[in-house]
A and B are shown apart, each in its own frame.
Chain A
Amino acid sequence: MEEHSVKAKLSAIAAALMVSLSMAFPAAVMASPEDDLKAFREYFKKRFPNVPFEDFVNGVYALDPAAREQWEAIEEFPPYEINIEKGKDLFHKPFKNGKTMASCFPDYKQGIKQNYPYFDTKSGKVKTLELEINECREKNGEKPFPWGKGPIADVSAYLAYLSRGKKIDVKVPNKAAEAEYDKGKHFFYAKRGQLNLACADCHVYYAGYHIRADLLSPALGQVTHFPVYRSKWGGLGTLHRRYSGCNKQVRAKPFPMQGPEYRALEYFHTYMSNGLPINGPGARK
Protein backbone atom coordinates (compact mmCIF):
# COMPACT_ATOMS: atom_id res chain seq x y z
CA MET A 1 0.00 0.00 0.00
CA GLU A 2 1.15 3.45 -0.87
CA GLU A 3 1.16 4.71 2.70
CA HIS A 4 3.66 2.11 3.88
CA SER A 5 6.12 2.82 1.11
CA VAL A 6 5.80 6.55 1.83
CA LYS A 7 6.29 5.86 5.51
CA ALA A 8 9.31 3.66 4.85
CA LYS A 9 10.87 6.16 2.48
CA LEU A 10 10.24 9.09 4.78
CA SER A 11 11.52 7.53 7.96
CA ALA A 12 14.64 6.21 6.27
CA ILE A 13 15.50 9.51 4.65
CA ALA A 14 14.25 11.63 7.52
CA ALA A 15 16.42 9.70 9.91
CA ALA A 16 19.42 10.47 7.77
CA LEU A 17 18.41 14.12 7.52
CA MET A 18 17.81 14.35 11.27
CA VAL A 19 21.36 13.22 11.82
CA SER A 20 22.80 15.69 9.35
CA LEU A 21 20.58 18.50 10.66
CA SER A 22 21.63 17.92 14.25
CA MET A 23 25.20 17.92 13.04
CA ALA A 24 24.62 21.22 11.27
CA PHE A 25 23.04 22.67 14.41
CA PRO A 26 24.79 20.76 17.19
CA ALA A 27 23.39 23.07 19.80
CA ALA A 28 19.86 22.85 18.33
CA VAL A 29 18.35 21.52 21.51
CA MET A 30 20.04 24.13 23.66
CA ALA A 31 19.54 27.07 21.29
CA SER A 32 17.52 30.14 22.24
CA PRO A 33 14.24 30.91 20.50
CA GLU A 34 15.97 33.69 18.57
CA ASP A 35 18.61 31.28 17.29
CA ASP A 36 15.93 28.77 16.35
CA LEU A 37 14.02 31.41 14.44
CA LYS A 38 17.10 32.50 12.52
CA ALA A 39 17.97 28.89 11.60
CA PHE A 40 14.36 28.16 10.63
CA ARG A 41 14.18 31.14 8.27
CA GLU A 42 17.57 30.35 6.74
CA TYR A 43 16.57 26.74 6.12
CA PHE A 44 13.42 27.71 4.23
CA LYS A 45 15.17 30.48 2.34
CA LYS A 46 17.69 27.90 1.08
CA ARG A 47 15.02 25.32 0.28
CA PHE A 48 12.78 27.75 -1.56
CA PRO A 49 15.06 30.47 -2.92
CA ASN A 50 12.41 31.82 -5.30
CA VAL A 51 9.74 32.35 -2.66
CA PRO A 52 9.79 35.85 -1.14
CA PHE A 53 9.66 35.78 2.66
CA GLU A 54 6.15 37.22 2.93
CA ASP A 55 4.73 34.76 0.40
CA PHE A 56 5.24 31.86 2.80
CA VAL A 57 1.95 32.90 4.41
CA ASN A 58 0.23 31.40 1.37
CA GLY A 59 1.61 27.94 2.01
CA VAL A 60 1.40 25.56 -0.94
CA TYR A 61 -0.02 28.36 -3.09
CA ALA A 62 3.38 30.03 -2.92
CA LEU A 63 4.81 26.86 -4.48
CA ASP A 64 2.24 25.59 -6.99
CA PRO A 65 0.91 28.00 -9.64
CA ALA A 66 -1.96 25.74 -10.81
CA ALA A 67 -3.22 25.28 -7.26
CA ARG A 68 -2.78 29.01 -6.70
CA GLU A 69 -5.09 29.80 -9.61
CA GLN A 70 -7.83 27.65 -8.13
CA TRP A 71 -7.29 29.11 -4.70
CA GLU A 72 -7.52 32.63 -6.11
CA ALA A 73 -10.84 31.67 -7.76
CA ILE A 74 -12.15 30.72 -4.33
CA GLU A 75 -10.61 33.75 -2.61
CA GLU A 76 -12.53 35.99 -5.04
CA PHE A 77 -15.58 35.40 -2.87
CA PRO A 78 -14.44 33.09 -0.11
CA PRO A 79 -16.89 31.00 1.92
CA TYR A 80 -15.31 32.16 5.19
CA GLU A 81 -16.88 35.60 4.71
CA ILE A 82 -20.04 34.03 6.13
CA ASN A 83 -18.04 32.98 9.21
CA ILE A 84 -16.48 36.41 9.73
CA GLU A 85 -19.96 37.93 9.90
CA LYS A 86 -21.16 35.26 12.31
CA GLY A 87 -18.08 35.89 14.44
CA LYS A 88 -18.68 39.63 14.45
CA ASP A 89 -22.27 39.11 15.62
CA LEU A 90 -21.15 36.75 18.37
CA PHE A 91 -18.41 39.12 19.51
CA HIS A 92 -20.84 42.00 19.92
CA LYS A 93 -23.77 40.00 21.27
CA PRO A 94 -24.39 40.91 24.92
CA PHE A 95 -24.03 38.22 27.55
CA LYS A 96 -26.81 37.69 30.08
CA ASN A 97 -25.04 40.23 32.28
CA GLY A 98 -25.15 42.86 29.54
CA LYS A 99 -21.43 42.90 28.74
CA THR A 100 -19.98 41.81 25.40
CA MET A 101 -16.70 40.13 24.44
CA ALA A 102 -15.29 43.56 23.74
CA SER A 103 -15.02 43.99 27.52
CA CYS A 104 -12.42 41.19 27.61
CA PHE A 105 -10.61 42.35 24.49
CA PRO A 106 -10.71 46.14 24.71
CA ASP A 107 -8.06 46.65 21.99
CA TYR A 108 -9.79 44.34 19.51
CA LYS A 109 -10.32 47.04 16.88
CA GLN A 110 -6.60 47.55 16.37
CA GLY A 111 -6.10 43.82 15.81
CA ILE A 112 -4.94 41.53 18.61
CA LYS A 113 -4.43 38.10 17.02
CA GLN A 114 -0.81 38.82 16.08
CA ASN A 115 0.13 38.86 19.79
CA TYR A 116 -1.15 35.36 20.43
CA PRO A 117 -0.22 32.99 21.90
CA TYR A 118 1.49 34.61 24.83
CA PHE A 119 2.89 33.31 28.08
CA ASP A 120 0.90 34.39 31.14
CA THR A 121 3.47 34.48 33.94
CA LYS A 122 0.84 34.69 36.66
CA SER A 123 -0.90 31.45 35.69
CA GLY A 124 2.19 29.86 34.12
CA LYS A 125 0.07 29.03 31.08
CA VAL A 126 0.40 29.61 27.37
CA LYS A 127 -2.69 31.59 26.44
CA THR A 128 -4.12 31.13 22.96
CA LEU A 129 -6.80 33.36 21.51
CA GLU A 130 -9.43 30.59 21.58
CA LEU A 131 -8.59 29.87 25.22
CA GLU A 132 -9.18 33.50 26.15
CA ILE A 133 -12.40 33.68 24.14
CA ASN A 134 -13.84 30.91 26.28
CA GLU A 135 -12.32 32.30 29.49
CA CYS A 136 -14.17 35.50 28.65
CA ARG A 137 -17.44 33.63 28.28
CA GLU A 138 -16.98 31.72 31.54
CA LYS A 139 -15.95 34.86 33.41
CA ASN A 140 -19.25 36.39 32.33
CA GLY A 141 -21.40 33.45 33.30
CA GLU A 142 -21.74 31.90 29.86
CA LYS A 143 -21.01 28.36 28.72
CA PRO A 144 -17.76 27.94 26.83
CA PHE A 145 -17.92 27.15 23.10
CA PRO A 146 -16.72 23.72 21.98
CA TRP A 147 -13.14 23.81 20.64
CA GLY A 148 -12.39 23.05 17.01
CA LYS A 149 -15.24 24.44 14.99
CA GLY A 150 -18.48 26.41 15.17
CA PRO A 151 -18.78 29.67 17.13
CA ILE A 152 -15.25 29.53 18.55
CA ALA A 153 -13.86 29.44 15.02
CA ASP A 154 -16.24 32.18 13.86
CA VAL A 155 -15.11 34.58 16.61
CA SER A 156 -11.49 33.67 15.94
CA ALA A 157 -12.10 34.38 12.23
CA TYR A 158 -13.49 37.83 13.03
CA LEU A 159 -10.50 38.68 15.20
CA ALA A 160 -8.07 37.27 12.64
CA TYR A 161 -9.73 39.38 9.96
CA LEU A 162 -9.24 42.50 12.09
CA SER A 163 -5.56 41.61 12.38
CA ARG A 164 -4.94 41.09 8.68
CA GLY A 165 -1.62 42.54 7.66
CA LYS A 166 -0.32 42.82 11.23
CA LYS A 167 3.00 41.06 11.76
CA ILE A 168 3.06 38.13 14.17
CA ASP A 169 4.80 39.14 17.37
CA VAL A 170 4.96 36.24 19.82
CA LYS A 171 7.23 36.80 22.81
CA VAL A 172 9.16 34.38 25.00
CA PRO A 173 9.91 36.72 27.90
CA ASN A 174 11.39 34.48 30.63
CA LYS A 175 12.66 31.04 31.60
CA ALA A 176 9.21 29.71 32.43
CA ALA A 177 7.96 30.79 29.01
CA GLU A 178 10.99 29.23 27.38
CA ALA A 179 10.18 25.93 29.06
CA GLU A 180 6.78 25.93 27.36
CA TYR A 181 8.37 27.00 24.08
CA ASP A 182 10.79 24.07 24.36
CA LYS A 183 7.91 21.66 24.99
CA GLY A 184 6.31 22.87 21.78
CA LYS A 185 9.58 22.59 19.90
CA HIS A 186 10.14 19.02 21.08
CA PHE A 187 6.61 18.11 20.09
CA PHE A 188 7.25 19.52 16.61
CA TYR A 189 10.40 17.47 16.06
CA ALA A 190 9.32 14.26 17.82
CA LYS A 191 8.13 11.26 15.81
CA ARG A 192 4.70 9.95 16.61
CA GLY A 193 2.01 7.58 15.45
CA GLN A 194 2.06 4.32 13.56
CA LEU A 195 3.51 6.17 10.59
CA ASN A 196 6.30 7.39 12.90
CA LEU A 197 6.34 10.92 11.51
CA ALA A 198 7.17 14.22 13.13
CA CYS A 199 5.58 17.53 12.14
CA ALA A 200 9.05 18.41 10.91
CA ASP A 201 9.26 15.39 8.62
CA CYS A 202 6.47 16.62 6.36
CA HIS A 203 6.69 20.34 6.93
CA VAL A 204 10.42 20.95 7.21
CA TYR A 205 12.45 18.19 5.53
CA TYR A 206 9.77 17.23 3.00
CA ALA A 207 8.08 20.61 2.56
CA GLY A 208 7.38 21.09 -1.13
CA TYR A 209 7.32 17.37 -1.86
CA HIS A 210 4.17 15.40 -2.62
CA ILE A 211 2.30 12.77 -0.65
CA ARG A 212 0.09 11.28 -3.33
CA ALA A 213 -1.57 14.33 -4.83
CA ASP A 214 -0.99 16.67 -1.89
CA LEU A 215 1.82 19.16 -1.73
CA LEU A 216 3.37 19.42 1.75
CA SER A 217 3.26 22.98 3.08
CA PRO A 218 6.31 24.59 4.68
CA ALA A 219 6.15 25.16 8.45
CA LEU A 220 7.29 28.74 7.92
CA GLY A 221 4.18 30.88 7.64
CA GLN A 222 1.95 27.90 8.34
CA VAL A 223 -0.19 29.38 11.13
CA THR A 224 -0.84 32.84 9.70
CA HIS A 225 -4.05 31.94 7.83
CA PHE A 226 -5.91 30.27 10.70
CA PRO A 227 -8.72 29.69 11.42
CA VAL A 228 -9.06 27.93 8.11
CA TYR A 229 -12.00 27.12 5.83
CA ARG A 230 -11.11 23.77 4.33
CA SER A 231 -13.03 22.45 1.34
CA LYS A 232 -12.40 19.05 2.88
CA TRP A 233 -14.25 20.09 6.04
CA GLY A 234 -16.86 22.08 4.13
CA GLY A 235 -16.39 24.60 6.92
CA LEU A 236 -14.17 26.57 9.22
CA GLY A 237 -11.87 25.04 11.83
CA THR A 238 -9.26 26.17 14.31
CA LEU A 239 -5.53 25.43 14.39
CA HIS A 240 -6.01 22.81 17.09
CA ARG A 241 -8.61 21.08 14.97
CA ARG A 242 -5.96 20.78 12.27
CA TYR A 243 -3.33 19.57 14.76
CA SER A 244 -5.80 16.92 15.83
CA GLY A 245 -6.44 15.86 12.24
CA CYS A 246 -2.76 15.79 11.36
CA ASN A 247 -1.99 13.60 14.39
CA LYS A 248 -4.77 11.22 13.35
CA GLN A 249 -3.33 11.07 9.85
CA VAL A 250 -0.02 9.73 11.12
CA ARG A 251 -2.12 7.28 13.15
CA ALA A 252 -1.31 8.93 16.44
CA LYS A 253 -3.89 9.53 19.14
CA PRO A 254 -4.66 13.25 19.02
CA PHE A 255 -4.17 15.37 22.12
CA PRO A 256 -7.08 17.41 23.54
CA MET A 257 -7.65 20.71 21.76
CA GLN A 258 -6.50 23.63 23.90
CA GLY A 259 -4.72 21.16 26.18
CA PRO A 260 -1.14 21.86 27.33
CA GLU A 261 0.52 19.95 24.45
CA TYR A 262 -1.20 21.76 21.57
CA ARG A 263 -0.92 25.12 23.30
CA ALA A 264 2.83 24.59 23.68
CA LEU A 265 3.03 23.46 20.06
CA GLU A 266 1.09 26.53 18.90
CA TYR A 267 3.47 28.70 20.94
CA PHE A 268 6.55 27.32 19.19
CA HIS A 269 4.84 27.04 15.81
CA THR A 270 3.63 30.65 15.84
CA TYR A 271 6.94 32.01 17.14
CA MET A 272 8.55 30.48 14.04
CA SER A 273 6.30 32.75 11.96
CA ASN A 274 7.21 35.94 13.81
CA GLY A 275 7.50 38.87 11.41
CA LEU A 276 5.03 37.38 8.90
CA PRO A 277 1.66 39.07 8.48
CA ILE A 278 -1.62 37.56 9.66
CA ASN A 279 -3.76 36.65 6.64
CA GLY A 280 -6.55 34.75 8.32
CA PRO A 281 -9.10 33.47 8.03
CA GLY A 282 -7.92 31.52 5.01
CA ALA A 283 -9.27 29.06 2.46
CA ARG A 284 -7.53 25.78 1.75
CA LYS A 285 -8.41 22.52 0.01
Chain B
Amino acid sequence: MNERRRLFLKGTLAVGTLSVAAGAGLLSPRAVLAAWPEAAFKGKTVEDALKELLGSAGYETSDAINIKAPDIAENGAVVPVTVSSTLKDVTEIAILSSSNPSPLTSAYELGKGTHPYISTRIKMGKTGDVIAVVKSGGKTFGTKKQVKVTIGGCGG
Protein backbone atom coordinates (compact mmCIF):
# COMPACT_ATOMS: atom_id res chain seq x y z
CA MET B 1 0.00 0.00 0.00
CA ASN B 2 2.78 2.39 0.87
CA GLU B 3 4.18 2.03 -2.66
CA ARG B 4 1.10 3.86 -3.90
CA ARG B 5 1.70 6.84 -1.60
CA ARG B 6 3.55 8.99 -4.04
CA LEU B 7 4.96 12.43 -3.66
CA PHE B 8 2.60 14.99 -5.02
CA LEU B 9 4.45 18.08 -6.09
CA LYS B 10 4.32 20.03 -9.32
CA GLY B 11 4.54 16.77 -11.22
CA THR B 12 7.36 17.83 -13.51
CA LEU B 13 10.11 16.55 -11.22
CA ALA B 14 11.05 12.87 -11.32
CA VAL B 15 11.33 11.13 -7.96
CA GLY B 16 15.08 10.77 -8.45
CA THR B 17 15.57 14.48 -8.90
CA LEU B 18 13.68 15.16 -5.73
CA SER B 19 15.75 12.87 -3.56
CA VAL B 20 18.92 14.48 -4.91
CA ALA B 21 17.50 17.87 -4.24
CA ALA B 22 16.45 16.80 -0.76
CA GLY B 23 19.89 15.41 -0.05
CA ALA B 24 21.44 18.66 -1.17
CA GLY B 25 19.20 20.45 1.35
CA LEU B 26 17.36 22.27 -1.42
CA LEU B 27 13.98 21.02 -0.29
CA SER B 28 12.71 21.04 3.26
CA PRO B 29 12.33 17.55 4.73
CA ARG B 30 8.67 18.26 5.19
CA ALA B 31 8.06 18.73 1.45
CA VAL B 32 9.89 15.53 0.49
CA LEU B 33 8.17 13.33 3.04
CA ALA B 34 4.72 14.75 2.41
CA ALA B 35 2.50 11.84 1.49
CA TRP B 36 -0.61 13.30 -0.08
CA PRO B 37 -2.72 10.21 -0.75
CA GLU B 38 -3.17 10.77 -4.46
CA ALA B 39 -4.74 7.40 -5.28
CA ALA B 40 -7.30 7.81 -2.51
CA PHE B 41 -8.27 11.29 -3.72
CA LYS B 42 -8.59 9.91 -7.26
CA GLY B 43 -10.92 7.10 -6.14
CA LYS B 44 -14.29 7.43 -7.85
CA THR B 45 -16.18 5.47 -5.23
CA VAL B 46 -16.24 5.57 -1.46
CA GLU B 47 -14.90 2.01 -1.37
CA ASP B 48 -11.97 2.74 -3.68
CA ALA B 49 -11.05 5.87 -1.76
CA LEU B 50 -11.14 4.09 1.60
CA LYS B 51 -9.18 1.10 0.31
CA GLU B 52 -6.43 3.38 -0.98
CA LEU B 53 -6.39 5.53 2.12
CA LEU B 54 -6.84 3.14 5.00
CA GLY B 55 -6.25 -0.25 3.39
CA SER B 56 -9.83 -1.34 3.85
CA ALA B 57 -12.80 -0.61 1.56
CA GLY B 58 -15.31 -1.22 4.34
CA TYR B 59 -15.69 -0.15 7.92
CA GLU B 60 -17.56 -1.24 11.02
CA THR B 61 -20.52 1.02 11.60
CA SER B 62 -20.16 2.67 14.97
CA ASP B 63 -22.37 5.06 16.87
CA ALA B 64 -19.31 6.21 18.78
CA ILE B 65 -18.68 8.50 15.84
CA ASN B 66 -20.82 11.60 15.40
CA ILE B 67 -21.33 13.67 12.29
CA LYS B 68 -22.79 17.13 12.74
CA ALA B 69 -23.98 18.35 9.36
CA PRO B 70 -27.18 20.02 8.16
CA ASP B 71 -30.13 17.92 6.99
CA ILE B 72 -30.55 20.33 4.10
CA ALA B 73 -27.45 22.23 3.00
CA GLU B 74 -28.03 25.95 2.44
CA ASN B 75 -25.42 25.91 -0.28
CA GLY B 76 -23.63 22.80 -1.54
CA ALA B 77 -20.42 24.80 -1.96
CA VAL B 78 -20.08 25.38 1.78
CA VAL B 79 -21.41 22.58 3.98
CA PRO B 80 -20.21 22.79 7.61
CA VAL B 81 -19.28 19.32 8.89
CA THR B 82 -17.99 18.38 12.32
CA VAL B 83 -16.78 14.85 13.01
CA SER B 84 -16.15 13.72 16.56
CA SER B 85 -15.70 10.36 18.25
CA THR B 86 -15.52 8.81 21.69
CA LEU B 87 -13.39 5.92 20.41
CA LYS B 88 -9.90 5.57 21.87
CA ASP B 89 -6.58 5.69 20.00
CA VAL B 90 -7.94 7.36 16.90
CA THR B 91 -5.02 7.93 14.54
CA GLU B 92 -6.76 8.93 11.32
CA ILE B 93 -10.03 10.48 10.24
CA ALA B 94 -11.43 10.62 6.72
CA ILE B 95 -14.38 12.70 5.53
CA LEU B 96 -16.16 11.64 2.34
CA SER B 97 -19.13 12.87 0.35
CA SER B 98 -20.65 9.89 -1.44
CA SER B 99 -22.16 11.85 -4.33
CA ASN B 100 -19.00 13.83 -5.22
CA PRO B 101 -17.11 12.75 -8.36
CA SER B 102 -14.17 12.04 -6.06
CA PRO B 103 -15.78 11.15 -2.74
CA LEU B 104 -12.75 11.68 -0.47
CA THR B 105 -12.75 15.33 0.54
CA SER B 106 -10.03 15.18 3.15
CA ALA B 107 -8.01 12.93 5.47
CA TYR B 108 -6.46 13.79 8.84
CA GLU B 109 -3.50 12.29 10.70
CA LEU B 110 -3.80 12.98 14.41
CA GLY B 111 -0.69 13.62 16.47
CA LYS B 112 -0.12 12.78 20.12
CA GLY B 113 -2.74 14.28 22.38
CA THR B 114 -4.94 15.39 19.49
CA HIS B 115 -8.61 14.64 20.02
CA PRO B 116 -10.73 12.78 17.46
CA TYR B 117 -12.47 15.96 16.41
CA ILE B 118 -12.39 17.77 13.08
CA SER B 119 -14.58 20.62 11.94
CA THR B 120 -14.42 21.93 8.42
CA ARG B 121 -16.56 23.00 5.43
CA ILE B 122 -16.88 20.71 2.42
CA LYS B 123 -18.33 20.86 -1.07
CA MET B 124 -21.23 18.65 -2.01
CA GLY B 125 -22.38 18.61 -5.62
CA LYS B 126 -25.71 17.01 -4.87
CA THR B 127 -27.65 15.16 -2.22
CA GLY B 128 -25.62 12.35 -0.72
CA ASP B 129 -24.11 10.89 2.41
CA VAL B 130 -21.40 12.54 4.41
CA ILE B 131 -19.30 9.62 5.62
CA ALA B 132 -16.82 9.82 8.47
CA VAL B 133 -14.36 6.97 8.87
CA VAL B 134 -11.82 6.73 11.66
CA LYS B 135 -8.92 4.41 12.29
CA SER B 136 -8.92 3.37 15.93
CA GLY B 137 -6.58 0.76 17.32
CA GLY B 138 -5.73 -0.27 13.77
CA LYS B 139 -9.36 -0.96 12.80
CA THR B 140 -11.70 1.20 10.73
CA PHE B 141 -15.03 2.43 12.04
CA GLY B 142 -17.47 4.76 10.39
CA THR B 143 -20.86 6.34 10.19
CA LYS B 144 -22.82 8.37 7.69
CA LYS B 145 -25.41 11.08 7.51
CA GLN B 146 -27.52 12.11 4.56
CA VAL B 147 -27.32 15.75 3.54
CA LYS B 148 -29.79 17.08 1.00
CA VAL B 149 -28.49 19.60 -1.51
CA THR B 150 -31.22 21.56 -3.22
CA ILE B 151 -31.52 23.99 -6.09
CA GLY B 152 -32.39 27.41 -4.82
CA GLY B 153 -34.84 29.75 -6.47
CA CYS B 154 -32.88 32.90 -5.87
CA GLY B 155 -29.63 31.64 -7.43
CA GLY B 156 -28.30 34.98 -8.63
Contacts and interface: CB of A to CB of B under 8 A. Distances in A.
> Does A associate with B in a complex?
yes
A74 B78 contact: yes
A228 B141 CA distance: 40
A70 B74 CA distance: 7
B71 interface: yes
Contact of A213 (B80, B121, B151): B151
22 contacts: A66-B70, A66-B71, A70-B70, A71-B74, A73-B80, A74-B78, A74-B80, A211-B152, A212-B150, A212-B153, A213-B72, A213-B153, A214-B152, A214-B154, A216-B154, A231-B77, A231-B78, A232-B77, A246-B156, A248-B156, A249-B154, A285-B152
Nearest to A67: B74
A210 B71 contact: no
A69 interface: yes
B66 to A, nearest CB: 15
B73 A211 contact: no
A167 interface: no
Which applies to chain B's interface (DSSP): helix, strand, loop or mixed?
loop
When A and B form their complex, which 10 residue pairs have the shortest distance between CB atoms, in order from nearest?
A211-B153, A213-B150, A245-B156, A212-B153, A73-B80, A231-B75, A285-B74, A214-B152, A231-B78, A285-B75
Given A70-B80, A231-B77, A231-B78, A210 B156 contact: no
Interface string B58-77: 00000000000011111101
Given A212-B150, A231-B74, A242-B156, 15 more contacts: A6-B153, A66-B71, A66-B72, A70-B70, A70-B80, A71-B74, A74-B80, A214-B153, A214-B154, A245-B156, A246-B154, A246-B156, A249-B154, A249-B155, A285-B152
Interface of B: 70-75, 77-78, 80, 82, 121, 150-156
A69 B154 CA distance: 20
A249 B82 CA distance: 34
Contacts of B77: 231-232, 234
A6 B153 CA distance: 10
A174 B31 CA distance: 67
B108 to A, nearest CB: 18
Nearest to A283: B78
A246 B156 CA distance: 6
Contacts of A67: 74
B153 A70 contact: no
A232 B70 contact: no
A254 to B, nearest CB: 11
B11 to A, nearest CB: 26
A35 to B, nearest CB: 30
A87 B31 CA distance: 34
Of the candidates B72, B77, B80, B153, the one having the most CB atoms from chain A within 10 angstroms of its own CB is B153
Contact of A69 (B70, B155, B156): B70
Contacts of B151: 212-213
A234 B76 CA distance: 12
A262 B86 CA distance: 54
Of the candidates A6, A69, A211, A213, the one having the most CB atoms from chain B within 10 angstroms of its own CB is A213
B156 A249 contact: yes
Nearest to B74: A285
A232 B153 contact: no
Contacts of B152: 211-214, 232, 285
Contacts of B80: 70, 73-74
Contacts of B70: 66, 69-70
Interface string A236-251: 0000001001101100
Nearest to A72: B80
B150 to A, nearest CB: 3
A66 B70 CA distance: 7
Nearest to A73: B80
Interface in A194-212: 210-212
Interface in A19-72: 66-67, 69-71
Interface in A245-266: 245-246, 248-249
Contacts of A231: 74-75, 77-78
